[in-house]
Each structure stands twice: as structure tokens, then as C-alpha cells.
A and B are shown apart, each in its own frame.
Chain A
Amino acid sequence: MTQLALVIDLNVCVGCHACVTSCKQWNTSGWAGPLVDENPYDAHPTGTFFNRVQMFEVGTFPNTELVHFPKSCLHCEEPPCVPVCPTGASYKREDNGVVLVDYDKCIGCKYCSWACPYGMRELDMQQQVMKKCTLCIDRITDPSLPEDRRKPACVLACPTSARLFGDVHDPDSEVSIAIRERGGYPLMPEWATKPSNHYLPRRKTRMHITEDDLRRADNPLRHEDITVYTGEETLDDVTW
């Protein structure tokens, strides 16, 4: 079974919002019609986005750290938003595990948004149907695109490569290796949602310099000791 997902590296995300704008651009121009924007240049602009980047300050000044936190549907393996949908508009694709909304069936009852603990679903105020990240389903399943372009718009746009995309069920995929080797974790593990998207934690880059490194103990070009002899017999004195 394939489970497509994103792995987001908080260690390199700089909070530039490139994923937000590229997501909006791609998904407002596609087959599903525009993603609503109301008063975009006025007071109280509001609209529907699949992806948001938030900022959290950790610690107290001056020992603080600003964590940039991109947030979009996690394509849960046990999505609680799906069984509550009365129309079947919300579903999880069998072939690749992407959680989608059928905009032609959705009645806009908002029940699924109550059932998502992460608040990843947003109702489109104009179309009055539920919207959420599709992992750019129209890009990733489009065989007319070259293979390396069959990725979500956000992944292609990220200037720091903080967003990885792939099959988290394939143990040898880039995303699985990243989760395994770089401490990837799911959000709110206390619920039984089993999110497919994972986050890679912040990591401090530290140099470890030991006494031996300073003395260059293992350097073959190291200046050797000059042994001071005090008259004792040395190898040089041996008569062969």
C-alpha cells in the first residue's frame, strides 16, 4: 500500500511562505475553480488556504527560538474526518492514501472540520464546500508531467528544501529514511489519527572539539616529540 505524505523539516524552514503562495497559486488556477479570497487588498482580508505557515516562540528572552511551522492536512492513516461525513464527499484514496473532498458531493455541513483535531479543513465561503490540501493530486498523478515535476507545488517551491514528498510506507523512500534517521514525529500523537505527514525537529549544529583534536594526536604529520637522552643506552648504540 502506498501512503503519500509530506515530511517537513523544521530545522531548515525559514518561514518564507513560498509554499503558501505557490499552493494558493496552483490550487486557485486548477480544475476545482478559484480558492476564495475576500477583500484581498482591503481591511479584513480573508480566504481559504490549504497551507499556512505559523510562528511559535519557544522559551523566554533572551533564550528564545522562533519555530516556523508550516501546517496543512496530514493525510492521516486513520482520518477521523472521513467516517463522519454524511455524504461520502470526504474520502481517502485507496491507491495512494491521499484524503480528498469531492466538491460536487459536499453539502458544506462542516462536520468533518469538527472531527479534525488539527483544524486543517477550511470551508470555501463562495463555493460553500469544504476544502483542504490535496497534495496537488492533479500534479502528482499527471503522467504527462516529467517524473521529477510530479510533486506538490509547495515541495517544488520551497527554497530551502524543507519539504520532502514521497511514500511513507516504502521503507527505502527519501521520506521514510528522513523520518527514521532524523527523528521525524507526528503531530498530536495522543489521538488515534496516525498522521502520515511527519515533521523533522529543530537540531543544534554543534562542533565537538576534544583535547585530542587540539593536540592532533592522530595526525601523521604531527611534530614529534624530541626525546631527551641522558646517557642511557639507545637503539643507536646497538652494534649489529
Chain B
Amino acid sequence: MHPAFSVILLTTLLGAGQGVFLALVTGQVYASIKLIEAQDASFYVGGSVITIILLISGLIASFFHLGRPERAWRAAAKWRTSWLSREVIILPALMILVAFYGLVHWLGWTNPLFIAGADALPIDASLVLGVIGAVLAFALFVSTAMIYANVEFIAEWHSPLTVANFTFLGLGSGFMLAAAYSAALGNHLVTFYGTWAVIFTVIGLVSRGASLLRNRHIKPKSNLQSAIGVRHRLITQRAQGFTGGSFNTREFFHHAPPAVLQRMRTSFLILVFPVPILLIAIAYVSQSATLPIIAFLLQYTGLIAERWLFFADAQHPQNLYYQSVA
């Protein structure tokens, strides 16, 4: 498949946005049961603003993928059958919830509504919004990934690993961003978020590594024999019906030499996994405020390469019909 930059940005920005919001809510839950030190409202307000900026940037990127962005609202129609439609509904819902979450913190409506358990967990309005938002953020991970995992014709995508990759890489980059944000503010949550970022990044390495291995051994279901219905071992295309290219030759081929794919694979395997983990570890020892920020930026750059390869690796059976120009 052709790696469209709009979709690469869309999925990586949304992933980091959902991840950083989940990090905020996780932090708030931990703080309310006094496992980590409590933060004042401005921490959550700032975090919500970062989340919304990421989600809106993703949304803007998605418009560049559409031929008719002015009609984008129509995409909410078929949520019963289409994962794309589900994503289009959940994304704005999450944005609204994050906005309210930030607003509630900003207005200081954080007096506990009631206390759950024996004096253990005070529940306030922001926590309720946060938990609903967290559910939506996970639902968004699933629907974004299912857009790809649901295309049964693209074997490289048609796997639960796709959902795992989108989720864990999104969580990894989001918690990494939360660590960077805490480092920039100079509070004590860098270690907390950094640890979670490393955990999610390692799980992401396992699942993405598994999908890379799986993709190496995929046996395509369709072949030229079944594509044109002629039983012969040797079939060569002599003409594809046109010489100048078409939608089929642009959308479904990446036209990149194997060396570029290899370079992308190596760079994402380095930039997404060992480098940020190492930087976070050094930051933990040296108490550096800049290293977590660099770790996030490098990991995000790596994720762009990861998503590029995700598309370039995908082999569509329609390519069987476009093997030779003339």
C-alpha cells in the first residue's frame, strides 16, 4: 500500500493524544489514592490542552486524506458496519470529554461527590469524566486499528496484533509525552510516567516484533491463477491495459526500493524502542529535565517510520493485476 502522510500523522498523533490523556487519568487515580503526590489543577488543564492539540492535529491531518473533506460529517452514518464510521464518531466525543475534563479542573469543581470504599477513593466530577474519557480513548484505539485489521484481503494487517500495536505504541508515546511534560514542569511524576512509558514501549516491542515476524511468513491466499482463473504455473502479465499509471498503480504500491524499507525498519526499531528507554533511564539517574523531552520527540519520529512501514509492508491482492505496464 502507498503510505499516505496524512494517515501516518493521523494515527500517530491520535495515538499519542489518547496515550497522554490516559496518562493524566492514571496519574489522577494514583494521586487520589495517595500513591503519588497530588498535582494542582494547572497540571491537568495543561495536559488536557496538550491532548486536545494532538487530537485536533490528527483530525486536521485526516482531512488531507479525504477527497471531499467538506462532506466529512457524512462519515458518521454507517457506524453499524464501518469501523471508519465508528472512529469518526468516537474522536469528537473524546475531544469534548477531554475539554470538559480540563474545564472541570480549571474551574476547580473537584470537591468529591462521594467517597468510594471506606474513605479510600474520593470520586469527583473530573474523575468521572476522566474514566469515561479513558473508556472512549481505548475504544478509539480499537476502532482506529480495526479500520486496518478488518481488511481481510491485506493479510499483514488482518490480525489482532494490529490492534495491540496501535494501542501499546500509542500508550507508550503518550506516557512518554506525559513524562516529558512533567519534566518540563519540573514535578516529581517523571519517574512514574517514565516507568509506565517504558513498560508500554516494551510490550509494544513484543507485539510489533511479533507482527514483523508474522509478516515475513505470510503466504498470500490469492495468486495469478485464481485472479484470472487459468490453471498454469507460468503466467506473465504482458499488458495492464494502460501505460501512464492509474489509481490502482498509485494507491496500492509504495514504489520504494527494498533498501528504503529496510532503512525504515531499522530506524523505527532503534528510535521507538531502545533509544527512548535508554534516555528515560539516564534521565532517572541524572534528574535531567530535557532528556525525557528528547526521548518523546525521538520516539514520535520513530513512530512515523513505523507507520510508514506498516503501510508499505501491506500487500494487496489487487496488485496481482498490475505486475507489468506493457
Q: Spell out A's residues near B (CB within 8 Å).
A: 17, 20, 39, 43-49, 52-60, 66-67, 69, 71, 80, 83-89, 105-111, 113-119, 121-123, 125, 127-129, 185-191, 199, 201-202
Contact = CB atoms under 8 A, between A and B. Distances in A.
A59 B234 contact: yes
Contacts of B244: 39, 43-46
A52 B66 CA distance: 26
Interface string B193-229: 0000000000000000000000000000110101111
Main secondary structure on chain A at its contact with chain B?
loop
Given A67-B230, A107-B72, A113 B237 contact: no
A63 B71 CA distance: 54
A62 to B, nearest CB: 13
Interface stretch (B151-159, B179-187, B283-291): B151-159
Given A108-B66, A190-B221, A86 B234 contact: no
Of B83, B232, B319, most A-chain CB atoms within 10 Å: B232
A-B complex: 10 closest residue pairs judged by Cβ atoms: A108-B67, A119-B318, A128-B67, A52-B241, A86-B85, A83-B81, A86-B75, A55-B239, A87-B74, A45-B244
Contacts of A189: 226
Contact of A86 (B78, B232, B316): B78
A114 B154 contact: yes
A107 B158 CA distance: 25
Contact of A109 (B1, B75, B224): B75
B78 A129 contact: no
B322 A119 contact: yes
B165 to A, nearest CB: 18
Interface string B234-261: 1111111111111110011000000000
Contact of B67 (A52, A71, A107, A199): A107
B96 interface: no
B135 to A, nearest CB: 22
Nearest to B321: A119
Given A107-B75, A187-B226, A85 B82 contact: yes
A88 B246 contact: no
Contacts, number: 176
Contacts of A57: 235-238
B34 interface: no
Interface of B: 1, 65-69, 71-72, 74-78, 81-85, 88, 147, 150-154, 221-222, 224, 226-230, 232, 234-248, 251-252, 316-319, 321-322
Given A109-B84, A119-B252, A187 B228 contact: yes
Given A84-B82, A129-B68, A115 B77 contact: no
A117 B66 CA distance: 21
B221 A54 contact: no
Given A71-B321, A187-B227, A119 B232 contact: no
Contact of A46 (B74, B236, B246): B246
Given A86-B85, A111-B147, A115-B153, A56 B221 contact: no
A188 B152 CA distance: 14
A113 B83 CA distance: 15
A53 B242 CA distance: 9
Contacts of A86: 74-78, 82, 84-85, 88
Contact of B234 (A17, A58, A88, A128): A58
Contact of B245 (A17, A46, A49, A56): A46
Given A56-B230, A58-B230, A190-B221, A115 B151 contact: yes
B228 A109 contact: no
Contacts of B68: 106-108, 128-129
Nearest to A60: B234
